[in-house]
Structure formats: structure tokens, C-alpha cells
Chain A
Amino acid sequence: MTCTEFLAQMTDYFDGDVEPQLLEEIQSHLCECHHCEILVDTTRKTIRVYRDHQVYDLTDEVRERTVARIMAACTTPRA
């Protein structure tokens, strides 16, 4: 397997969505290719760091205000 062929399979590999024989080929490539090994490790870290550190979130105050506005609009009888 070449690096380009591995790259084409990387999304399915991350999803655990590859046939056993292909998985074997991928694992064998990763054992031999240090660049692709680093690529997998740093891409996994990229996903994990974004998942673990929500960069945007509603503060409790804004959240309560937003919910109150939504519910007020939903309970107001339409003209």
C-alpha cells in the first residue's frame, strides 16, 4: 500500500469501516511508514482536542434568556 492509497482509506479507517483484509494492509503500511503513523496520530489528536475543549458554549445567563424568549414566542397565541 502506498501513502496515497492509505490517505484514500483514512476516513473509513478512522470510522472502523474497512474490511479485515484491507485493515491488515493498512496496519502493515502504518508499521512501515513513519510519516503515515504520525499523520494518524496527529489527526486523531486534532479531533480529540476539539471534542474535549468545546471552544464555544452558551453561558447560563444567555441560555436562560434564550430559552425564555423561545418559550414566550411559542406560547403567544398567533394573530
Chain B
Amino acid sequence: MPPVVEQPGVEEVHPDVALVDAARHGDTAAFEKLVRQYDRQIFRVAQHITQNREDAEDITQDVFMKAYGKLDQFQGNSKFSTWLTRIAVNESLMRLRKRKTSRTVSMDQDVQTEEGSIPRDFADWTPDPEQQYGTSELGEILQKTIAGLSPGFRTVFTLRDIENLSTEETATALGLSVPAVKSRLLRARLQLRERLSRYMKRKDGSIKP
């Protein structure tokens, strides 16, 4: 195998760029590859924000249809997946507003809350969550717990910690500054930890010495 020649100053091109370019020129198979690469991620983001499976299915469909119609607007300044995620976040928040049953419908509402910002529960989680609960019971606890966060907090936690976007990608997808993402992420993590602690701490409630 020939050695990889590093070319200083030449930026690595993400493989999605070629697929997007082909799709722009009418190659639907290239677009289908992109759909299959990111449909699960887009669905998860949509369901985490809307907390509704049917809405998340519709949003997944709408995101890719919109993206296909707007491929010319994709500048390549961010990753294609980040661009898709931004569309998904906007569509999901719009869906929450339309439903009108949700108390909070924007990225900014409820993020001023101090709830959970000061940790109060210092019980150890022993044994690990997986040892304390079966898979389906643990799944229910995780769903119930993240659903209790405001959309602003669960969105930032979903993108950064569940979908593993970088802090910069999360900021781009949400239209926020990097410091704002870091601040919300800290509070989202602390709130979630505090809420999960009710289920995960040692059964006798004691703190390990």
C-alpha cells in the first residue's frame, strides 16, 4: 500500500461533500446514501425535542425533503450532518409550537432556571445503572428523566452528549455561541444527573465513605 502523503495546507474533504455534489446534479442514489447515513440521527434528535414518535417520523421525512430542495444553499462551511441537524432542530421546535400543548417551545425558554445548577445529591451510584436495572426498565427511566428537562436543555444534551457533536458543531446547529452551549450543557448535565440520582443511588441512601 502506498504511504499516505500529507499535503500541508490541503484540507481533508469530507466524503459527504462528493455525495452532496452528486445529488445536486440529480444523482438520487447519492442522496439516498446521505439519507441512510443520517436518518436515525435526525429521528432521534426530533424525538428527543418533540417527545412524540409520530412527529419525529414526520420531521425526519420533512428534513430530508427540505434538504433536497435546498441542496444549492448548502455552502459546505459546516458538515452536511450539522446542516441537517439544524434543519431538524428548527422543524422540531416549530412542531412543538404548533402542538401548543407544550409549556415551552423555544430554545431560550426555561434556560434561565437555576434548577439543578447547584448539585445537592452526592450519593454514589453503586452498582452501575446497568446492574441495578434491566434494559427495558432502564430505558423507561432514561426516557422519563430526559423528558423532564426543558427543550433548550434536552436539545443541547442530545446533540453534544448523545449524538456526540463537538461543542462547535452543536453551537452551529443551534445558532448559539460556544460559551452559551457550554453553559447550557453544564446545567443540562447537572439537572439530568440530579434527576437520575433518584433512581441510581445506593438503595440504602447512604453515601460511601
Binding site for B on A (CB under 8 A): 7, 10-12, 15, 34-35, 38-39, 41-43, 45-47, 49-51, 53-58, 62-63, 66-67, 69-71, 73-75
A57–B139 alpha-carbon span in the complex (Å): 12
A42 and B200 within 8 A (CB): yes
Distance, CA A54 to CA B60, complexed state (A): 17
Q: In the complex, A67→B185 CA distance in Å?
A: 32
* B100 on interface, CB distance cutoff 8 Å: no
Chain A residues whose C-beta falls within 8 Å of the C-beta of B115 in the assembled complex: none
Q: Number of B interface residues, CB 8 Å?
A: 49
Contact A53 B161 (CB under 8 A): no
Which of the residues B43, B123, B135 comes within 8 Å of A58, measured between beta carbons?
A: B43
Let me know if B146 and A45 touch, CB within 8 A.
no
Query: B192 near A51 (CB under 8 angstroms)?
Result: no
Which of A55, A63, A67 is most buried by chain B, counting CB atoms within 10 A of its CB?
A55
Q: Among residues 28 to 61 in chain B, which have CB atoms less than 8 Å away from a CB atom of chain A?
A: 28, 31-32, 35-36, 39-40, 43-44, 47-48, 53, 56-57, 60-61
Q: Which residues of B contact A43 (CB under 8 A)?
A: 189-190, 193
Evaluate contact between B57 and A66: CB separation under 8 angstroms. Answer: yes
Residues of chain B touching chain A, judged by Cβ–Cβ distance below 8 Å, are 28, 31-32, 35-36, 39-40, 43-44, 47-48, 53, 56-57, 60-61, 64-65, 68, 119, 122-125, 128-130, 135, 138-139, 142-143, 146, 157, 161-162, 164, 167, 182, 185-186, 189-190, 192-193, 196-197, 200, 207
Assembled-state Cα–Cα distance A43/B59 (Å): 31
Given contacts A50-B146, A54-B44, whether A42 and B138 have CB atoms under 8 Å apart is: no
The one of B31, B119, B122 in contact with A74, judged by C-beta atoms closer than 8 angstroms, is B31
Tell me how far the C-beta of B42 lies from the nearest C-beta in chain A, rounded to whole angstroms. 9
Can you name the residue of chain A whose Cβ is closest to the Cβ of B45? A56
Whether A46 lies near B61 (C-beta < 8 A) is no
- Are B193 and A70 closer than 8 Å at their CB atoms? no
* In-complex Cβ contact of B162 among A10, A12, A51, A62 (8 A): A51
- B28 CB contact (under 8 Å) in A12, A55, A75: A75
Q: Is the CB of A46 within 8 A of B192?
A: yes
Interface centre among A11, A15, A39, A43 (most CB of B within 10 A): A11
